[in-house]
Amino acid sequence: MLCLVEQLGLVPYADGLRLQEEKVAARKAGIIPDMLLLLEHPRVITLGRNARRENLLVSPQQLAAEGIDLIETDRGGDVTYHGPGQWVGYPILDLTRHRRDVAWYMRSLEEVLIRVTSDFGVRAARLEGAPGVWVGDRKLAAMGVHLSRWVTSHGFALNVNTDLDYFRWIVPCGLATKGVTSLAALLGHPVEMAAAAERIVAHFGSVFGLVMEEDERSKVECPS
């Protein structure tokens, strides 16, 4: 099966939500094939369906003063941060053509990112009871998804060169005893964003059994 890839560059979070809604509607109607939207967001903190307000450690007014948006979403999970240097992936998949199993889908997304990090020499793993990809007790990739009539939206966020300092304003994913990390922090040097995107696309296709095809109309140059 075909999966169309759109690499969109830096996209405001609200615009990313609207784009996902359009793609989900088109996928339900059979107008488009499966898709993977790959992008970065300007600094933003998002609250999932299960978010607890006490996991936001500063006021919305303080965030606004720092130029950081605060947005409630319909994805699963608690509170997280997105910003430049972090690859955010929004798969728009019709699971009726794959497997109608949310747990399988989540484990498959984790497998994609575990393989990606391995390509950069980082040994990441799952952590029982805590979705995402971990290196020890530090989260390298967060996950939160939404399904509507078995069509997926939202997805994952892989910290590549992310400025981890912004996570101090939240309890990431509601896990007070855990930390966060990035490929750059683990390796001791920046990682080329384009190289990370290439590995994400390749492993996504391999894990889900999809033929990945770039949409050249939307591809942008990725800074290091």
Query: What residues act catalytically?
Result: 173
Q: Do the beta carbons of residue 169 and residue 45 sit within 8 Å?
A: yes
Measure the CA–CA gap between 23 and 156, rounded to whole angstroms: 17
Instruction: Tell how strand 2-10 and strand 34-40 pair up.
Output: parallel
Distance CA 172, CA 168 (A): 9
Q: Which three-class secondary structure state does DSSP give residue 139? A: strand
Identify each DSSP E strand in the chain by its residue range: 2-10, 34-40, 44-47, 69-72, 79-82, 86-92, 125-127, 130-135, 138-148, 151-159, 179-180, 211-214
In the chain, alpha helices (H): 13-28, 60-65, 102-119, 183-187, 193-208
